[in-house]
Amino acid sequence: MPRKTALKALTQIEEGGYSHIVLNAELNASSLDARDRGLTTELVYGVLTWRRALDNLLESLLDKGLTKTPPVIRDILRLGAYQIVFLDRIPASAAVNTSVELANAKLPKLKGLVNSVLRRLSEMDEYVWWSEDDRASKPVRYLGDRYSLPNWLANLALQKYGGVDRAAPHLEAYSERPSLHVRLNQETAVPEAWTALPVPDAFITPSMDETLDEGLRDGLWSIQDLGAQLICWFAGFDGPSLDACAGLGGKSLFFARQHTVTAVEPAESKINLLRLNADRAGLSHRIHIQQSRLQDAPETTFENVLLDAPCTALGVIRRHPETRWTRKKSDVKALVDVQHELLEEAFKRTAVGGTLVYAVCTFSPQETHEQVANFLRDFDVEELRAPDAPFDWAPYLDKKGRLALNPKDHGTDGFYAARFKRLS
């Protein structure tokens, strides 16, 4: 039952799990067919994305409010409400009845509450979880309610984009489900249903299917957002390089198609996946892995260094919607400090005359252009323009020539990157 699986996943995510890891584990442990797996995924990501909107609607129907409702019933109500409000193809009666079944299995004494609330919700003439009156007088509240964000994040977007009229379409794009992007690891035929992107070897695939899975297992291609691919093109590395915070190694694999890469990553689980994907792609001989924090890695210098730094990850909230609720305003300052420390370490490992690229998947000013301004001020570097590429850079660069991507304008996740040359 997809709703039962979705409920299990939501419970674990609320306890601190990462949505993609939890959901994949639950789907793999289930016997759901492709259609039900798709519905489960839609329910989990939909509830996480639109949680504030759903809660606003449900609060108006609960005498004691959501905060006094047991967590499992709260999630059941959100699941039912998401189907009623956002999924036209599911009859409201089915959403109500399956939610009552879930409640009966978890807390039978509250199944009547679930039934009553969701039936009243389904009988509403329209679903509005925000007030247009707030648009001018309370823009932070308006954006938070309308696009289902905590107020601090709505305020950040308001400042970033310069007013509610500019912020709104960007936040709408960040609330949509992202496309599935694929990068070829070698020359190969691709399915007719795939759509070629302007960047070489990059495609949009309409869905996960057996053909896609088989190609992933065989190392023919990798799943990688176009924005992450563009960071690799923007780096322009033409020789051995250091991937200073390699993570799962998507960018290491990109570089390894042309030259050797030293990948530094402390987490064993991520290194294991990097090794697996490198083996599948036939690139293990070009990737040298160091399980370490960058601060503890040898201070060997490289002509090319990529620092894809830890950040608030606000640019990938389409793919990881729980980030809306797990991140806090205080995280921005804490991560800015981490990034500054890592930039210093990356600088040490960049040869004089070499190229250092700083990249983050967020849009907060403190982690992007302000961090770059501080680096230019504090270190002996000069900023470099984008390298030559077999496509037009213009749509992807800001006025300073830095990579600045977002889902509204580029159909990518939100990324930011700048290139530097070490002078001394």
Residue appearing with tokens 């980030």: 323
How many Cα atoms occupy the beta-carbon half-sphere of 330 within 13 Å?
Answer: 0
Q: Residue 295 to residues 87, 264, 291, 339: CA-CA distances in angstroms? A: 48, 10, 12, 12
Query: Comparing 83-92, 207-216, 319-328, which segment has the lowest mean pLDDT?
Result: 207-216
Given the DSSP bridges, would you call strands 350-360 and 415-422 parallel, antiparallel or unpaired? antiparallel
Q: What is the mean pLDDT of residues 203-211?
A: 89
Give the whole-angstrom CA distance, residue 220 versus residue 350: 32
pLDDT-derived band at 368 (thresholds 50, 70, 90) equals very high
Q: What is the mean pLDDT of residues 113-129?
A: 95
Structure tokens at 196: 């070629």
Cα–Cα nearest to 173, from 315, 382, 274, 329: 315
Summarize pLDDT for 19-74 with one digit per residue, the tens.
Answer: 989 998 999 898 888 889 999 999 999 999 999 999 999 999 998 889 889 999 99
Taking the model in full, what pTM does it have?
Answer: 0.94
Summarize pLDDT for 299-341 with one digit per residue, the tens.
Answer: 999 999 999 999 999 999 999 999 999 999 999 999 999 999 9
Supply the mean pLDDT for the chain: 95
Phi-psi region of 87 (alpha: psi -120 to 50; beta: other; left: phi over 0): beta
- 408 pLDDT exceeds 90? yes
Strand partners, 214: none
pLDDT-derived band at 210 (thresholds 50, 70, 90) equals confident
| Distant-in-sequence contacts of 153-160, Cβ < 8 A, 24+ apart | 153/314, 153/324, 153/327, 156/314, 156/332, 156/363, 156/364, 157/363, 159/365, 160/363, 160/364, 160/365
Residues of the chain with pLDDT > 90, as a percent, come to 92
Summarize pLDDT for 136-192 with one digit per residue, the tens.
Answer: 999 999 999 999 999 999 999 999 999 999 999 999 999 999 999 999 998 999 999
Q: Residue 231 to residues 48, 234, 278, 290, 409: CA-CA distances in angstroms? A: 28, 5, 19, 22, 16
pLDDT at 209: 84
Strand partners, 195: 204
Q: What is the mean pLDDT of residues 404-421?
A: 98
Q: What is the mean pLDDT of residues 2-29?
A: 93
- 7 pLDDT exceeds 90? yes
Q: What is the CA radius of gyration of the chain?
A: 23
**End-to-end Cα spacing for the chain:** 62
pLDDT-derived band at 367 (thresholds 50, 70, 90) equals very high
SS3 361: coil
Q: What is the mean pLDDT of residues 258-284?
A: 93
Structure tokens at 351: 């040869």
